[in-house]
Amino acid sequence: MSEPVPPPGLTHVYSGKVRDIYTDGDDLILVASDRISVYDVVLPTPIPDKGRILTALSLWWFERLADLAPNHVLSSTDVPAEFAGRAIRCRRLSMVPVECIARGYLAGSGLVEYADRGTVCGVPLPPGLVDGSRLPEPIFTPTTKEAVGAHDQPMTYAEVEGKVGADTASDLRDLTVDIYRRGARIAAEQGIVIADTKVEFGFAPDGTLTIGDELLTPDSSRFWPADSWEPGHPQFAYDKQFVRDWSTSTGWNKQPPAPEVPADVVAVTRQRYVEAYERLTGNTWS
């Protein structure tokens, strides 16, 4: 599946693992592609509709969390027709060089560190937790923000303070956890557990800390069906965990180049993204 060709007048400035950024006058056009990444490596096979689902779900969440923090959205309709449905017109931000992650459950890389040291990003946790355990309270577990193809690395809170200053670090932690708590509460009403989520922030020209990129999507979060959640083993996931598991099963070393994704894995992954959108929003994906 080829990506849309940008119209004349836009200047391409950056491509991330999933999103492409263009300038249009003073604004940015943020375009969500159908690319998918695991272990910080972009896979060569796209997931149909993925960019549109991420965009629609992010906009749904931005609306519901607007009172917690401002976001970068200027318009979801004033975008080039070639990008309709998968693009957002955004204000420019000076992005914070930290990936802000909140965890309410133990899974993924957090489980690996916990098994080794009893901590996640230096945060001590109670003994006896297992894969999928609910944490006593949500915790802030930031990582570095590396270039495409490089692996983000865990950071302690002290390291975040050293990178952005004590005041900004405190704001990042508090906002990230508040966003997670609100999102988890809303999702729980729809039978979804949000195990963790990643949020990106930047500073607006007036110095206001502002949410950027995406919000509470299957790319940035772990979504589990609440009725089947059971600690002690990996959970069924409405996110890209299915692709992570498949890629691991191939023996791939998690370094570029990544293997092509089989059609059946693509189909299941697309369906799980669709289910996440439909269960959370109550809307039917068309």
Q: What is the pLDDT of residue 152?
A: 80
Q: What is the pLDDT of residue 4?
A: 55
| pLDDT 10s digits, 56-67 | 999 999 999 999
Helix (H, G, I), strand (E, B) or coil at 226: helix
Q: What is the pLDDT of residue 145?
A: 87
Nearest to 6 by CA among 73, 74, 77, 86: 86
Lowest model confidence (mean pLDDT) among 91-100, 127-136, 142-151, 268-277: 142-151
| pLDDT 10s digits, 8-30 | 779 999 998 999 999 999 999 99
Q: What is the pLDDT of residue 150?
A: 64
Q: How far apart are CA 115 and CA 131, in angstroms?
A: 10
Tokens 């989520």: give the residue.
197
The answer to whether residue 147 scores a pLDDT higher than 80 is: no
The answer to whether residue 1 scores a pLDDT higher than 50 is: no
How crowded is the C-beta side of 36, counted as CA atoms within 13 Å? Answer: 29
Model-level pTM?
0.93
| pLDDT 10s digits, 186-195 | 999 999 999 9
Q: How far apart are CA 19 and CA 43, in angstroms?
A: 14
List own/partner pairs for 170-174 with CB under 8 A and 24 or more apart: 171/209, 172/96, 172/98, 172/100, 172/140, 172/142, 172/201, 172/209, 173/100, 173/140
The answer to whether residue 48 scores a pLDDT higher than 50 is: yes
> Quick check: 44 and 258 in contact, CB under 8 A?
yes
Tokens 């809303």: give the residue.
186
78: its two tokens: 């004033």
- Which domains does the chain carry? 94-225 (3.30.470.20)
pLDDT band at 70 (very low <50, low <70, confident <90, very high): very high
The answer to whether residue 267 scores a pLDDT higher than 70 is: yes
Specify burial of residue 127 (Cβ count, 10 A radius: 0-12, 13-18, 19+). exposed
Q: Which residue has the higher pLDDT, 149 or 243?
A: 243
> Quick check: 201 and 209 in contact, CB under 8 A?
yes
Helix (H, G, I), strand (E, B) or coil at 199: strand
Nearest to 109 by CA among 26, 18, 39: 39
Q: What is the pLDDT of residue 8?
A: 75
Around Cβ 133, how many Cβ atoms within 10 Å? 17
